[in-house]
Chain A
Amino acid sequence: MWSGIAFRMRALFRRKRVESELDEELRAHFEKQAEKYIRAGDAPEEARRRARLDFGGLDQVKEECRDARGVSLLENLAQDTRFAARMLRKNPLFTAVAVVTLALGIGANTAIFSAVNTLLLEPLPVKDIDRIVFSVAMREGFDPYGSSLVEYQAFRDRGHSFTSIGLALQRSFNWLGRNEPEILQGAMVRADYLGTLGVSPVHGRDFSAEERRPGGPAVALIGYGLWRREFAGDPGAPGRTLNLDGRITTVVGVLPAGFDEPAGAQIWIPDQRNIEGMPLAERLGHDHDLVARLKPGVSREQADRELKAIAKELEREYPRERTGWSVQLIPLRQEALGDVTGRVEKALAALVAAVGFLLLICCANVASLLLAQGVGRERELALRRALGAGRLRVAGQLLTESTLLATLGGAAGVLLGYAAVPVLRALNPIETIAFVEPLTNMHIDGRVLGFAAGLTLLTAVLCGLMPAVKGAGSRDLAPVLKEGGQRGGVASGGRRWLAALVVTELAVAVPLLAGGGLRIQSFERLQNLELGFRPDHLLTMHLVLSPAKYREFRERVNFEKRLLEHVKSVPGVVSAGITTTLPLTAIGSTDAVFTVEGHPPKNPSDVPITAHRAVSPEYLQTLGVALTKGRLLDAHDNAEGQRVVVISEELARQGWPGEDPLGKRIRRVRPGQADLPWMTVAGVVKDVKEDRDNFRIARPVWYVAYEQTENAQPLDLVVKAEGDAASLAGSVREAVRAVDTDQPVSRVLTMNAHLAGVLMTERFSAVLMGALAGLGLALAMIGLYGVMSYSVSRQTTEMGLRAALGATQRDILGMVIGGALRLAGLGLSLGLAGALALTRFLSGALYRVNASDPLTFGAVAALLVLAAFAACYVPARRATRVDPIVALRHE
């Protein structure tokens, strides 16, 4: 065993020595044999000749000895690599083009994979995150909702799929007692929440049973980041206090770095409610985060089926309140990416497919380069085989060359990736909800490098296999050697390979271009999205009124009135308004179930829903909403006035089809609660895009007067500026402070910046897919031109022959171009079929563009046909001008 290994090592590392020993050994044998014949009486010449005959092919014997030593594979590899390096150095232009092409392909794939790696594979500070699911309440046609206590209780008591179920209620805290009051994102968690996620404090302790009871003390767990910031990472922080909404709260522990569920929380307080004793109405609100850990062996699909069945039971038990409600389980990671509808995964899949196709085009280009280069080497390769190299050996040699190329390309591609990743990180369009740190830190790690290495190998095979098989040639060498490797039988065999490349190139380019084209069109249409309001010159900020300080709704109304007065007196402010939710906001958006007077739902399972916004009188003017009928809200719509509502056209269509809604009455239905008062329709406005995930469709919305609608929701202030809205931020902030020095504000943004955030994912995908498609188009055109012009040039002899036999230039041009276009047609049809199959998956992510948009597909096809035509016309034209005599002499 050991001696065997030592033998091989010696053979490998002392190759020269072993080789010269083999030479010496064989020469000694040869001389002995010759001597023997001389002794037998032959003349020296004759003796040597006989000895040579005895020997057979010397190189052959050596090759077999190398094989017998068993290291030849590695040894050949070393030799082939040296040879390949020499070949590449000899053709610097060819090498540069091939390496740059592969670098682009591999670099793009590496960069996109680094994003996939971070978003989908990065470990998060939660135990076995893949076993944790997040429950979303669903209603057909609406943005997804949070979970209700009713659901939590039902799943907890009836479900069998989980080891534990946890519940949290997101809320924010006004952190007081410091220079600048600050809003801290946080949550109220039930005992099972952190346990379900498998998270425990790194310092201090979890909440005690005492602290979880109703009326328990004010205690909190704090996030790692807050601990570092406020307590400078002092392990003695537990026991210290924070002023949260005026309540002195004792810190009992610190949670691990990177943990910020739910929704970027930095503060967690115990849920001290007695939820079992709550009335049904309070248990129906869809405002909780429900997480669950799957039992071993239970799949997410199984659990999802079980919960859907339980939701059906709830529909039967509470038909009035629960009809139309279902649930869906998504992985916690998906929830953290803010991707309830799975758009991120789809966009990523589209990008991965796009860079994959790009790489295929790169491979086809390099393969055609290698093929073309291989032709000049037919004689060299034939000679190598004549000298004893097997077909496999020659193919191996050629594969080594493509591997070396791919390795160079891969190394350059990884460098490109290193350059691209910071750009991706800066442009990262995903609005991560939780685990913000780990999920936004795109970087190149071992996994990405491993991926790039694997891709490089794959690339080597993809672009090297065809040239290698062809280069190894047929079993029969004679024709090549005899004809000197010119335009004989091998050439006609090569044409089939070239045809295959043309078809591949086109078939791959079509889906890439179609995908990019659709994305760009969709984005263009989104940019001209009918918002229903005018976003220019608007400044927005978010305020959460402390429930401790503003206990009574009356106090909240007072604050709102004084705030608007102060803000409107700021120089440069045209008008100002308050809403409970900004248009196109993901978190905190409220809906209401309504009923129209005189139009009870035809069937009890119809539960009509509208987006619900409580707004101040001037809000709709400030937003620039277009009134179509009646009036907007005004200062008379206060607590004493008649209850009124302004509705959107879509709500008018749904509530009063074919009727004039003005003066008609509508009211909100709160399940399990006494009926709320009727509201009279005062005006109708053009549809406003209020829903975040459903902005592709028109959804009803109503605007009720803030003062007439008792609520404790956070406020969004919208200010219209005479000029630049952003420059007002400081003075408006001062106005807030003038009303309440302790009142923090957050999300200070111009409306356009807010909207840019909404369309960021779309823009990112459009720009990236468009860039990839453009790159793919350029590469495919270059590749097509290369392959086609090369293939035409190989037909020069045939063209000369035909010309000599009387064919006109026209005939010949027609023949060549016809042949090329037939190939292009085949490639295009394959590509179109593939694209149609693939773009279907994009359909959910497109806005006002059909996934099989004939215009896009037609344009892509026309572009590629044009490219193919140009690619064969120019060289064909040149070829027909060649004098037939010259062309024939080529032979």
Chain B
Amino acid sequence: MLRQEEWYAPVEAKGEGSLRTSRIELPQGTLDLLILRTLALGAQHGWAISERLQQISQDVLHIQQGSLYPALHRLERRGWIKARWGASENNRRAKYYELTRGGRKQLETEKDAWRKLTAAVAQVLETA
């Protein structure tokens, strides 16, 4: 997975959001898994989530806000995370996201699925 360097002019990107995500080359749904995992450590606001992901992945994963926020809203709609307004580190209003009970369950399911998938892919890569 490569750091994404391109910048998209809004006109070219009109209405075709899928284009952007495919360029990141995060497999479909992976971003959701990463967000859930990040939030498993505690409530976070959007910027902190992206920073954290970048940090943990040692700068390999650079999450575009263009994908992050829609993903957060999508997860909230599905009821896996919930949002509340709180004060940030420097006492400004920030929107914090945290896992719901459903979200925790979902995280476990997705982690499982991911492990199985990577193990299977690894298996194929090594033996085939």
Contact = CB atoms under 8 A, between A and B. Distances in A.
- Decide whether A and B assemble into one complex: yes
A177 interface: no
A28 B47 CA distance: 8
Given A57-B10, A57-B13, A68-B70, A7 B76 contact: yes
A550 interface: no
A36 B11 CA distance: 28
B45 interface: yes
B29 interface: no
Interface in B3-19: 7-11, 13-17
B66 A26 contact: no
A722 interface: no
B38 to A, nearest CB: 15
A300 B108 CA distance: 65
Contacts of A4: 77-79
B114 interface: no
B71 interface: yes
A388 B70 contact: no
B37 interface: no
B95 A32 contact: no
B15 A70 contact: no
A475 to B, nearest CB: 10
Contact of A68 (B9, B45, B74): B74
A631 interface: no
B13 A56 contact: yes
A7 B79 CA distance: 9
Interface string B50-78: 01000000000000111001111110111
Contacts of B115: none
A391 interface: yes
A29 B11 contact: no
A61 B13 contact: no
A53 B7 CA distance: 7
B43 interface: no
Contact of A55 (B14, B66, B88, B92): B66
B96 to A, nearest CB: 10
Contact of B73 (A68, A386, A392, A393): A68
Contact of A65 (B15, B51, B73, B79): B73
Contact of B70 (A21, A59, A61): A61
Nearest to A1: B79
A28 B94 contact: yes
Interface in B76-120: 76-79, 82, 85, 88, 92-95, 100
A65 B10 contact: no
A390 interface: yes
Contacts of A387: 10
A673 interface: no
Interface string A45-70: 00000000111110111001101111
A7 B102 CA distance: 15
A28 B92 CA distance: 9
Given A60-B13, A69-B73, A54 B65 contact: yes
A17 to B, nearest CB: 11
13 contacts: A24-B93, A25-B46, A28-B45, A28-B47, A28-B95, A55-B65, A56-B8, A57-B66, A64-B17, A65-B69, A67-B17, A68-B69, A68-B77
Given A33-B47, A64-B70, A65-B70, 18 more contacts: A4-B78, A25-B69, A29-B45, A29-B47, A29-B65, A29-B69, A32-B47, A36-B51, A56-B65, A57-B10, A57-B66, A60-B17, A64-B66, A67-B17, A68-B71, A68-B74, A69-B77, A70-B74
